[in-house]
Structure 1
Amino acid sequence: MARERATALLVDFDGVVRRFDPAVAAGVEQRYGLAEGVLTEIAMQWGRLQPVLTGQVSHADWMTSVAEALAEPAGSPERARAAVEEWQTYRGEVDAEVLGFVREARAAGIRVGLATNATDRLDDDLAALDLTDAFDAVVSSYRLGVNKPAKEYFQAACQALATPPDRVLFTDDEDWSVRGARVAGLSAHRWTGPGDLRYLRAALAY
């Protein structure tokens, strides 16, 4: 039996709705004499990242730990803190095509949720990027205490959209999140860029 078309959409934030220009971090690293890629490398170490994504520590505490790890290569704790503070002023950029698609889908009656592994800075980020009212629901790992790709995360996301999993389409740029969504019973598509919007439109019931 063919699967019914989705009536709700879940979209990932970083890598789908929001993009980061790698030149920004590279510029900070160059100005402070740091190795290329070291800011992201340290920040994304899972033992450091996972606690902030699940509400165990704050975004500020996470960045403090990054600065502490950078203190020696930066030459001093003060320089490390300054580098991290400058890096964190950049909030990324919204993909206009994706945002247009979200608006189009909502106007057509599709419920659209933002599904993100996020820190307690998410609300501030959404406000800074003028996205506060862009979605019908915002599902944050920080508030849930569980992160993608856990089944419990996707169950909560479907509840937030008031839609059963088999009628929800999810898109994310990470394979492990896509696999987790499928295990939870959602349709899922691995995002590779705005060229995927044609597929997503076809997969939705509008």
Structure 2
Amino acid sequence: MTQRPTALLIDFDGVLRTFDPSTNAKIEQRYGLEPGTVLDMALEWDRLLPAITGRMTRAEWLATVAADLAPRVGGPGRAAELMAEWEVYPGDVATDVLAFVRDVRAAGLPVCLATNATIEFHDVLASFGLTGEFDAVALSAELGVHKPAKEYFQAACALIATPPPRCLLVDDTDRMIRGARAAGLSAYRYTPGDDLTYPRRALGL
């Protein structure tokens, strides 16, 4: 029999933080690039993995992107200018998702922010005024292991002292959902505009 979850793990980018792709698309087009080029390069797995497991800083990670873009945009100086502009847009906090997080905690259930991110991620939370909004932050760069590895989810659940079968993950990526379920958690795929009715009910709210 499936146990009702008594704790929440929630993703950051794509769930709690959203981006308007047109903002950076306009910057890329000014440099002669197709929209999405910078992000696609930044997320190349061999480039991303060292950054999200604490072996490379954010600046070092993005510097590798700039180096590879340089021949396409007119040299290292232009590539540095592009990346400086591209980094300015921080995205936006999804207020409805933040309200959901607060409702879960108000009900006495722990919430762990579960994210693959660089070691500077706590500064990002502070910049949005989100420090203290979670009972724990499972940051891949601090744990040394990334979602959707089983070890990541075990560590995240341990941070809120809740066994995996009693934890619900809300994430926007199928790969993370499958990984969480394989690790023994329940999991819900979030899509933009979702009213979160299902996870609310699952948590007894």
TM-score by length of 2: 0.97
SS in 2 for 1:195: coil
- Tell me, in whole angstroms, the C-alpha distance in 2 between the residues paired with 1:56 and 1:201: 37
Structure 1 position 204, deviation (Å): 0.3
Q: Structure 2 CA distance, aligned partners of 1:8 and 1:180? A: 17
Residue in 1 that maps onto 2:169: 170
What residue in structure 1 maps to residue 144 of structure 2? 145
Percent identical across equivalent pairs? 54
8 Å Cα contact 2:26-2:35 kept in structure 1: no
Which one-letter code corresponds to 1:16 in the other structure? V
How far apart, CA to CA, are the structure 2 residues paired with 1:174 and 1:95? 17
TM-score under structure 1 normalisation? 0.96
How many angstroms does 1:34 deviate by? Answer: 2.1
Corresponding residue number in structure 2 for 1:63: 62
1:65-80, aligned counterparts within 5 Å?
65-80=64-79
Q: 2 CA distance for matches of 1:87 and 1:76?
A: 17
Give the structure 2 partner of residue 50 of structure 1: 49
- Structure 2 CA distance, aligned partners of 1:194 and 1:187? 21
| Alignment size in residue pairs | 205
CA contact (8 A) 1:98 1:194 kept: no
| 1:193 Cα deviation from its structure 2 partner | 2.9
Report the RMSD for the aligned CA atoms in angstroms.
Answer: 1.0
Query: Which string of whole-angstrom CA distances, capped at 9 and with x for unpartnered residues, describes residues 61-115 of structure 1?
Result: 0010010011011111101011111111221110000000111110111111100
2-structure distance, mates of 1:36, 1:16: 22
AA aligned to 1:39 is: V
Q: Provide the C-alpha distance between the structure 2 equivalents of 1:32 and 1:128, rounded to a whole number of angstroms.
A: 28
Q: Could you say what secondary structure the match of 1:16 adopts?
A: coil
Q: Gaps spanning 5+ residues in structure 1: where?
A: none
Residue 125 of structure 2 corresponds to which residue in structure 1? 126
Aligned to 2:85: 86
Quote the residue 2:16 is aligned against: 17
Distance 2:102 2:202 in 1: 16
What is the rounded CA distance, in whole Å, between the counterparts of 1:191 and 1:36 in structure 2? 24
Q: Which runs of 5+ in 2 are unaligned?
A: none
